[in-house]
Amino acid sequence: MKVLRGVFFQLLDYHRGNVDAIGVGEKAGLRTFVTLIREFRMTLDEVDEACVALEKNITNSERIDLAYMAFYYGTGPNSTRVLRASIARYDKDLVDFIILRLDDSNWKKAKMNERNLGYMPFEGHQSRLGHYFRHLYEMVRYIDRNGGERAEEFAGMLRAQLSNHEQALLCLNSLSTIGAAWKNEGLLVRFRMIKNLPKNFFDPEMRTTAERKVTRRWCV
Protein backbone atom coordinates (compact mmCIF):
# COMPACT_ATOMS: atom_id res chain seq x y z
CA MET A 1 0.00 0.00 0.00
CA LYS A 2 2.93 2.35 0.63
CA VAL A 3 4.01 1.83 -2.97
CA LEU A 4 0.46 2.60 -4.16
CA ARG A 5 0.32 5.79 -2.09
CA GLY A 6 3.67 6.90 -3.43
CA VAL A 7 2.71 6.27 -7.04
CA PHE A 8 -0.72 7.85 -6.54
CA PHE A 9 0.64 11.11 -5.16
CA GLN A 10 3.25 11.22 -7.90
CA LEU A 11 0.47 10.81 -10.47
CA LEU A 12 -1.51 13.50 -8.66
CA ASP A 13 1.44 15.87 -9.00
CA TYR A 14 1.56 15.09 -12.72
CA HIS A 15 -2.15 15.90 -12.96
CA ARG A 16 -1.65 19.26 -11.27
CA GLY A 17 1.22 19.95 -13.63
CA ASN A 18 -1.00 19.12 -16.60
CA VAL A 19 -3.63 21.57 -15.37
CA ASP A 20 -1.06 24.31 -14.83
CA ALA A 21 0.30 23.76 -18.35
CA ILE A 22 -3.08 24.20 -20.05
CA GLY A 23 -3.82 27.63 -21.43
CA VAL A 24 -5.76 29.37 -24.18
CA GLY A 25 -5.63 33.05 -25.02
CA GLU A 26 -4.93 34.91 -21.80
CA LYS A 27 -6.39 32.15 -19.63
CA ALA A 28 -4.18 29.61 -17.90
CA GLY A 29 -4.60 26.70 -15.52
CA LEU A 30 -8.04 26.13 -14.02
CA ARG A 31 -9.40 29.32 -15.61
CA THR A 32 -8.88 27.70 -19.01
CA PHE A 33 -11.68 25.21 -18.38
CA VAL A 34 -14.19 28.03 -17.85
CA THR A 35 -13.42 29.33 -21.33
CA LEU A 36 -13.42 25.84 -22.86
CA ILE A 37 -16.93 25.14 -21.56
CA ARG A 38 -18.05 28.46 -23.04
CA GLU A 39 -16.63 27.50 -26.43
CA PHE A 40 -18.28 24.08 -26.27
CA ARG A 41 -21.64 25.78 -25.72
CA MET A 42 -20.94 27.93 -28.78
CA THR A 43 -20.14 24.82 -30.82
CA LEU A 44 -23.32 23.11 -29.66
CA ASP A 45 -25.28 26.18 -30.79
CA GLU A 46 -23.74 25.79 -34.26
CA VAL A 47 -24.74 22.13 -34.39
CA ASP A 48 -28.30 23.01 -33.35
CA GLU A 49 -28.53 25.74 -35.98
CA ALA A 50 -27.19 23.39 -38.66
CA CYS A 51 -29.83 20.78 -37.77
CA VAL A 52 -32.59 23.40 -38.04
CA ALA A 53 -31.27 24.85 -41.31
CA LEU A 54 -31.01 21.43 -42.96
CA GLU A 55 -34.04 19.95 -41.18
CA LYS A 56 -31.96 17.10 -39.82
CA ASN A 57 -33.44 15.19 -36.90
CA ILE A 58 -30.69 13.71 -34.75
CA THR A 59 -30.79 12.59 -31.14
CA ASN A 60 -29.65 14.70 -28.21
CA SER A 61 -26.75 12.31 -27.62
CA GLU A 62 -25.66 12.76 -31.23
CA ARG A 63 -25.85 16.54 -30.91
CA ILE A 64 -23.51 16.48 -27.93
CA ASP A 65 -21.15 14.05 -29.64
CA LEU A 66 -21.01 16.10 -32.86
CA ALA A 67 -20.44 19.31 -30.94
CA TYR A 68 -17.75 17.84 -28.72
CA MET A 69 -15.84 16.26 -31.60
CA ALA A 70 -15.94 19.56 -33.51
CA PHE A 71 -14.87 21.42 -30.37
CA TYR A 72 -12.05 18.92 -29.71
CA TYR A 73 -10.56 18.61 -33.21
CA GLY A 74 -11.58 21.96 -34.66
CA THR A 75 -11.18 22.97 -38.29
CA GLY A 76 -8.10 23.85 -40.33
CA PRO A 77 -5.70 22.42 -42.93
CA ASN A 78 -5.08 19.23 -40.94
CA SER A 79 -7.78 19.38 -38.28
CA THR A 80 -10.69 19.25 -40.72
CA ARG A 81 -9.46 15.98 -42.21
CA VAL A 82 -9.21 14.39 -38.76
CA LEU A 83 -12.60 15.79 -37.74
CA ARG A 84 -14.30 14.43 -40.86
CA ALA A 85 -12.90 10.97 -40.22
CA SER A 86 -14.02 11.03 -36.58
CA ILE A 87 -17.65 11.93 -37.44
CA ALA A 88 -17.98 10.04 -40.72
CA ARG A 89 -21.00 8.13 -39.40
CA TYR A 90 -23.09 11.31 -39.44
CA ASP A 91 -25.06 12.74 -42.37
CA LYS A 92 -22.57 14.18 -44.87
CA ASP A 93 -24.62 17.30 -45.63
CA LEU A 94 -24.85 18.08 -41.92
CA VAL A 95 -21.12 17.54 -41.41
CA ASP A 96 -20.29 19.73 -44.44
CA PHE A 97 -22.57 22.51 -43.17
CA ILE A 98 -21.02 22.50 -39.68
CA ILE A 99 -17.44 22.43 -40.95
CA LEU A 100 -18.08 25.18 -43.51
CA ARG A 101 -19.46 27.43 -40.76
CA LEU A 102 -16.75 26.69 -38.21
CA ASP A 103 -13.98 27.11 -40.79
CA ASP A 104 -15.17 30.55 -41.92
CA SER A 105 -12.54 33.00 -40.68
CA ASN A 106 -14.92 35.97 -40.67
CA TRP A 107 -17.51 33.97 -38.74
CA LYS A 108 -14.89 32.87 -36.20
CA LYS A 109 -13.70 36.46 -35.69
CA ALA A 110 -17.27 37.63 -35.20
CA LYS A 111 -17.90 34.93 -32.59
CA MET A 112 -14.60 35.68 -30.87
CA ASN A 113 -15.54 39.35 -30.51
CA GLU A 114 -19.16 38.63 -29.61
CA ARG A 115 -18.18 36.35 -26.74
CA ASN A 116 -15.01 38.25 -25.82
CA LEU A 117 -13.00 35.04 -25.91
CA GLY A 118 -9.53 36.47 -26.40
CA TYR A 119 -8.60 33.76 -28.91
CA MET A 120 -9.89 32.35 -32.20
CA PRO A 121 -12.56 29.69 -31.51
CA PHE A 122 -13.28 26.47 -33.39
CA GLU A 123 -9.63 25.67 -34.07
CA GLY A 124 -9.54 22.64 -31.78
CA HIS A 125 -8.10 21.66 -28.42
CA GLN A 126 -6.60 18.25 -29.09
CA SER A 127 -3.12 19.51 -28.23
CA ARG A 128 -4.40 20.94 -24.93
CA LEU A 129 -6.77 18.23 -23.81
CA GLY A 130 -5.41 15.02 -25.35
CA HIS A 131 -2.67 14.45 -22.81
CA TYR A 132 -4.80 15.82 -19.95
CA PHE A 133 -7.60 13.29 -20.49
CA ARG A 134 -5.27 10.37 -21.27
CA HIS A 135 -3.42 10.90 -18.00
CA LEU A 136 -6.63 11.37 -16.02
CA TYR A 137 -8.08 8.18 -17.52
CA GLU A 138 -4.94 6.12 -16.82
CA MET A 139 -4.80 7.48 -13.29
CA VAL A 140 -8.36 6.34 -12.55
CA ARG A 141 -7.61 2.97 -14.15
CA TYR A 142 -4.52 2.66 -11.91
CA ILE A 143 -6.68 3.36 -8.85
CA ASP A 144 -9.23 0.80 -10.04
CA ARG A 145 -6.60 -1.92 -10.57
CA ASN A 146 -4.45 -1.30 -7.50
CA GLY A 147 -6.51 0.58 -4.92
CA GLY A 148 -8.23 -2.42 -3.38
CA GLU A 149 -10.39 -1.44 -0.40
CA ARG A 150 -9.01 2.12 -0.56
CA ALA A 151 -9.79 2.69 -4.23
CA GLU A 152 -12.75 4.96 -3.52
CA GLU A 153 -10.65 6.96 -1.05
CA PHE A 154 -7.94 7.59 -3.66
CA ALA A 155 -10.54 8.39 -6.32
CA GLY A 156 -12.14 10.87 -3.92
CA MET A 157 -8.80 12.64 -3.41
CA LEU A 158 -8.39 12.92 -7.17
CA ARG A 159 -11.95 14.15 -7.65
CA ALA A 160 -11.36 16.83 -5.02
CA GLN A 161 -8.72 18.32 -7.33
CA LEU A 162 -11.21 18.78 -10.18
CA SER A 163 -12.97 22.13 -10.48
CA ASN A 164 -16.64 22.29 -11.48
CA HIS A 165 -15.66 23.18 -15.03
CA GLU A 166 -13.17 20.30 -15.19
CA GLN A 167 -15.89 17.91 -14.06
CA ALA A 168 -18.30 19.37 -16.61
CA LEU A 169 -15.80 18.92 -19.43
CA LEU A 170 -15.12 15.36 -18.24
CA CYS A 171 -18.86 14.71 -18.37
CA LEU A 172 -19.04 16.00 -21.95
CA ASN A 173 -15.92 14.08 -22.93
CA SER A 174 -17.48 10.85 -21.66
CA LEU A 175 -20.58 11.48 -23.78
CA SER A 176 -18.48 11.75 -26.93
CA THR A 177 -17.05 9.10 -29.23
CA ILE A 178 -13.51 9.90 -28.18
CA GLY A 179 -14.25 9.54 -24.46
CA ALA A 180 -16.51 6.49 -24.63
CA ALA A 181 -14.11 4.34 -22.57
CA TRP A 182 -15.08 6.29 -19.44
CA LYS A 183 -18.65 5.04 -19.84
CA ASN A 184 -17.91 1.63 -21.33
CA GLU A 185 -15.63 0.68 -18.44
CA GLY A 186 -17.94 2.16 -15.82
CA LEU A 187 -15.17 4.26 -14.25
CA LEU A 188 -17.18 7.46 -13.76
CA VAL A 189 -20.08 5.60 -12.18
CA ARG A 190 -17.90 3.38 -10.01
CA PHE A 191 -15.87 6.23 -8.53
CA ARG A 192 -18.42 9.06 -8.89
CA MET A 193 -15.85 11.25 -10.59
CA ILE A 194 -18.52 13.84 -11.41
CA LYS A 195 -19.96 14.97 -8.12
CA ASN A 196 -21.62 18.03 -6.62
CA LEU A 197 -22.02 19.98 -9.84
CA PRO A 198 -24.68 22.65 -9.22
CA LYS A 199 -28.11 21.49 -10.40
CA ASN A 200 -28.37 24.14 -13.11
CA PHE A 201 -24.67 24.26 -14.01
CA PHE A 202 -25.47 23.42 -17.62
CA ASP A 203 -27.71 25.80 -19.53
CA PRO A 204 -31.36 24.59 -19.57
CA GLU A 205 -31.18 23.88 -23.31
CA MET A 206 -28.13 21.67 -22.69
CA ARG A 207 -29.97 19.54 -20.16
CA THR A 208 -30.79 16.98 -22.82
CA THR A 209 -32.00 13.48 -22.18
CA ALA A 210 -28.45 12.15 -22.37
CA GLU A 211 -27.00 14.83 -20.11
CA ARG A 212 -29.78 14.44 -17.55
CA LYS A 213 -29.19 10.70 -17.47
CA VAL A 214 -25.49 11.21 -16.86
CA THR A 215 -25.82 13.85 -14.18
CA ARG A 216 -28.57 11.91 -12.41
CA ARG A 217 -26.29 8.87 -12.13
CA TRP A 218 -22.92 10.55 -11.68
CA CYS A 219 -23.48 13.93 -10.04
CA VAL A 220 -24.36 13.25 -6.44
What pTM does this model have? 0.88
Residue 5 pLDDT = 76
pLDDT at residue 59 greater than cutoff 60: yes
% helix / strand / coil in the chain, to the nearest 5?
70, 0, 25
The pLDDT tens digits of the residues spanning 88-132 come to: 999 999 999 999 999 999 989 999 998 888 899 999 999 999 999
Query: What single-letter amino acid sits at 201?
Result: F
Mean of pLDDT values over 194-213? 60
d(CA 1, CA 100): 53
More confident residue, 208 or 123: 123
User: What percentage of the chain exceeds 90 in pLDDT?
Assistant: 71
Residue 50 pLDDT = 96
Contact criterion met (CB below 8 Å) for 62 and 211:
no
Residue 200 pLDDT = 64
The pLDDT tens digits of the residues spanning 37-53 come to: 999 999 999 999 999 99
Phi-psi label, residue 122: left if phi above 0, alpha if psi -120 to 50, beta otherwise: left
For the chain, the structural domain boundaries read 2-24+126-218, 30-115
The pLDDT tens digits of the residues spanning 148-198 come to: 889 999 999 999 999 999 999 999 999 999 999 998 999 998 998 988 777
Mean of the per-residue pLDDT values of the chain: 88
pLDDT at residue 74 greater than cutoff 80: yes
Torsions phi, psi of 101, nearest 5? -70, -50
d(CA 220, CA 197): 8
